[in-house]
Amino acid sequence: MVLDKAWANELLSYSTRQLYDKSTWNLPHNIQNKIIVTQCNIDLLESAGFWWQAQRLANHLHRWIRDVYKGVYDAEASIPSREEELHC
């Protein structure tokens, strides 16, 4: 395998598609798997010397994590707690 700029860009493209693809890995335990796989790809890009692609992928990962967990917290906030149900 030749590690060149085209390879690095393809890995960046593949990884971002996997992150934002809502048809894959949507279960809660699979969210952690997406994070692990993407972090491994970031490490691979960095170790191969493709710092720009690694930084772009890290930016996408952080934005995706923020969006995923923001959605989770918003959903939990709308669910009444057991104590709130008892006082009604």
The more confident residue out of 1 and 12 is 12
pLDDT in tens, 41-85: 999 999 999 999 999 999 999 999 988 888 754 554 444 444 544
Model's pTM, two decimal places? 0.74
Q: Helix, strand, coil % (nearest 5) of the chain?
A: 80, 0, 20
Quickly tell me which residue has 């669910």 as its tokens: 79
Is pLDDT of 1 > 80? no
Helix (H) or strand (E) holding 39: helix 28-47
Structure tokens at 87: 């006082």
Q: What are phi and psi of 25, to 5 degrees?
A: 55, 50
End-to-end CA distance of the chain: 64
Task: Provide the residue ranges of all domains of the chain, joining segments of one domain with +.
Answer: 26-87
